[in-house]
């Protein structure tokens, strides 16, 4: 019989960080609220959540990398949720920001062997972003927090 491992959706006794971009803040704030609510509903003490603000999605990978490998062990977290919003415009700027943000977040998590939740919206329109931020069907901040909770638990078991 094979052995099967999976993570649990519990954050009791764990610390988490949320890296949140200020650009498109009216959308990102809904993602932050969803992520915090999800963590608390799954047993994370609100005082064990640190929210770090940065200018935009381009800066998120550097912030996540710093959070993933803190200078002081007391600031160590079990997972990080990256939240931002990039909306396509008329130039290729969107492609560079969205692509490099995603690559940088993945690289930061792998380098630190720490779960990083990808809650950066990449949308064609503001309406699409608002829908994914909880105004219509679901909140991608919640989804990113759920993934980080499960991965933090799974990594403890591996």
As annotated, the active-site residues are 93
Nearest CA-CA partner of 35 in 50, 25, 24: 50
User: Rounded CA gap, 76 and 1, in Å?
Assistant: 37
Question: Does pLDDT of 136 surpass 80?
Answer: no
Give the mean model confidence (pLDDT) for residues 73-101: 92
pLDDT band at 107 (very low <50, low <70, confident <90, very high): very high
What pTM value is reported for the model?
A: 0.95
CATH second-level architecture of 37-75+96-153? Answer: 3-Layer(aba) Sandwich (3.40)
Tell me the domain boundaries of the chain. Answer: 37-75+96-153
Task: Note the pLDDT of residue 12.
Answer: 96
User: Rounded CA gap, 158 and 133, in Å?
Assistant: 32
Nearest CA-CA partner of 108 in 14, 10, 19: 19
Give the mean model confidence (pLDDT) for residues 107-134: 96
Question: Does pLDDT of 92 surpass 90?
Answer: no
Task: Note the pLDDT of residue 137.
Answer: 72
């Amino acid at each position: 019989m094979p052995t099967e491992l999976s993570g649990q959706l519990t954050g009791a006794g764990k610390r988490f960080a949320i890296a949140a971009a200020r650009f498109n803040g009216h959308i990102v704030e809904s993602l932050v609220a969803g992520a915090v609510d999800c963590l608390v509903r799954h047993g994370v003490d609100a005082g064990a959540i640190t929210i770090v603000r940065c200018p935009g999605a381009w800066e998120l990978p550097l912030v996540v990398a710093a959070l993933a490998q803190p200078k002081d062990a007391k600031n160590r977290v079990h997972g990080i949720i990256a939240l931002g919003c990039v909306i396509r415009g008329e130039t290729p700027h969107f492609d560079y920001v969205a692509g490099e943000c995603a690559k940088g977040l993945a690289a930061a998590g792998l380098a630190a062997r720490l779960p990083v939740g990808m809650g950066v919206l990449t949308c064609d329109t503001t309406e699409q972003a608002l829908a994914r931020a909880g105004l219509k069907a679901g909140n991608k901040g919640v989804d990113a927090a759920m993934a980080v909770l499960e991965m933090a638990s799974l990594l403890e078991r591996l």
